[in-house]
């Protein structure tokens, strides 16, 4: 006799609403920057620490592949983003139990990926505007989508780490 397959429980609102919120915040903030700052303009917000800027990135994180002569890079990045979105949704669908922290982390990554994909398809580049620095040391400019991806990856990573630690500590010991 075959065992009944495990029923997957999913928290669909927790994957949809945060992702949608991130996309809306990301796109609204980018439109505000486009409407108020010229490209390469910088406005100090907290002297010595934080500026609002308006930069464009045709490449990936930290300016990797950010070259105007790399048209094939656009297609690589769009394809990679679409593949990442598909994998995130597949991961969510395949989760065996309802894990709200993992779902939230995946949702933040999903929302960030969608926000940057919208820019990439619409403008062939991504608008970055948050500039954090100390003295002359600048973190590369980023946006709401990038921040969501980073926080989401941190939440997923911590969840994986602590869930695997918990499984190891509750596994039966070998008594020989």
* Residue 128 annotated to the active site: yes
What stretch of H or E contains 109? Answer: helix 100-123
Among candidate residues 26, 119, 128, 131, the one labeled active-site is: 128
**Which string of b and e fits 4-37 if b means at least 16 CB within 10 Å?**
eeeeeeebeebbeebbeebbebbbebbeebeeeb
Q: Are the CB atoms for 110 and 14 separated by under 8 Å?
A: no
Asked about 174 being catalytic, the answer comes back as: no
- CA dist 99 → 32, 73, 155, 158 (Å): 35, 36, 12, 13
Instruction: Find, among 60, 87, 88, 63, the residue nearest to 76 by Cα.
Output: 60
Question: Hey, which residues are catalytic here?
Answer: 128, 146
């Amino acid at each position: 006799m075959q065992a009944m397959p495990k029923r997957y429980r999913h928290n669909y609102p927790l994957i949809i609403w945060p992702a949608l919120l991130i996309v809306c915040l990301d796109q609204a903030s980018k439109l505000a920057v486009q409407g108020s700052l010229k490209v390469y303009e910088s406005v100090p917000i907290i002297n010595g620490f934080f500026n609002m800027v308006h930069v464009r990135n045709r490449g990936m994180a930290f300016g990797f592949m950010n070259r105007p002569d790399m048209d094939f890079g656009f297609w690589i990045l769009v394809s990679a983003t679409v593949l990442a979105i598909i994998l995130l949704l597949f991961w969510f669908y395949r989760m065996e139990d309802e894990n709200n922290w993992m779902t939230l982390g995946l949702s933040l990554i999903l929302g960030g990926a969608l926000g940057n994909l919208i820019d990439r398809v619409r403008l062939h580049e991504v608008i970055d505007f948050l500039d954090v620095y100390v003295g002359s040391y600048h973190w590369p400019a980023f946006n709401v989508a990038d921040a969501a991806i980073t926080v989401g990856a941190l939440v997923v990573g911590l969840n994986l780490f602590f869930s695997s630690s918990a499984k190891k500590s509750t596994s039966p010991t070998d008594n020989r």
